[in-house]
Structure 1
Amino acid sequence: MLTLYVLKSCDTCRKARKALDSSGHPYQVHELRDDGVSAALLEHFLLSVPVMTLLNKRSTTWRELPDSAKADADANKARELMLAHPTLIKRPLLDTGDDILVGYRDGDYDTL
């Protein structure tokens, strides 16, 4: 079964849910803020997605971090930040079982 990782306040996540609903694919939803992100789940994402691709530097959370936290954000620091602040993970993430798709644009899920 597909798993869609979202933030309920995210407009793009709502569009992704609507696309999956209209396609009829069964899926489960994991809300990153409410359900959290474990180290194991983050590592699962990172098997398919490079760490710096997964880190959302355009998020409000990133902008609100102190400069000292953002300075020299390498892979290890990015992991720590995403575990501490799950809203730093780019979303939506769709886990198909074989791959993890990051983000959503109209038509992205048409080939599922």
Structure 2
Amino acid sequence: MTTLYGIPNCDTIKKAKKWLEANKLEYQFHDYRKDGLDENWLIKTESVLGWETMLNKRGTTYRQLSDEQKNTINKESALALMLKFPAMIKRPILIHSDSYHIGFNAESYSQVFA
């Protein structure tokens, strides 16, 4: 089972979906906003990828945090923010055969599905 996690209007998600479809790979798309975000999933995913890797510092939501919030962010506060604002999670997260991958790169995806 392959699941792609993210938000549908994200350009990187669109590229990942296009690549998966072009390579005739079946996947399920989990939309954080429509399907929700489970705290247990977030904790499990963080244990594999790490909160610093998962935190999208380039997004609008992160940039709107106060300087104090940015300077004191830690695992606990980052997870709380990601749970409240799923757009703060880097996209996409791909889970394939119990293997976790973050971001999209065609060459990396080719290796994942080799």
- TM-score (normalizing by structure 1): 0.92
1:109 aligns with 2:109: yes
Displacement over 3 Å in runs of 4+: none
Q: Deviations over 1:44-88 (max 9, x none)?
A: 211310111111111111011233432310111111111111100
SS at match of 2:49: coil
User: In the alignment, which residue of structure 2 is the partner of 1:35?
Assistant: 35
User: In the alignment, which residue of structure 2 is the partner of 1:74?
Assistant: 74
Which sections of structure 2, spanning at least 5 residues, go unmatched?
none
User: In the alignment, which residue of structure 2 is the partner of 1:4?
Assistant: 4
Distance 1:43 1:64 in 2: 24
Percentage of identical aligned residues: 38
- After superposition, where does 1:25-64 map in structure 2 within 5 Å? 25-64=25-64
Distance 2:68 2:9 in 1: 28
User: In the alignment, which residue of structure 1 is the partner of 2:91?
Assistant: 91
- TM-score (normalizing by structure 2): 0.90
Moved more, 40-49 or 64-73: 64-73
Moved more, 63-72 or 29-38: 63-72
Question: Match for 1:44: what amino acid?
Answer: K
Distance 2:8 2:48 in 1: 24
Distance 2:48 2:12 in 1: 21
Distance 1:106 1:25 in 2: 13
> Quick check: which one's helix share is greater?
2
Paired residues in the alignment total 112
SS at match of 1:109: helix
Moved more, 27-36 or 84-93: 27-36
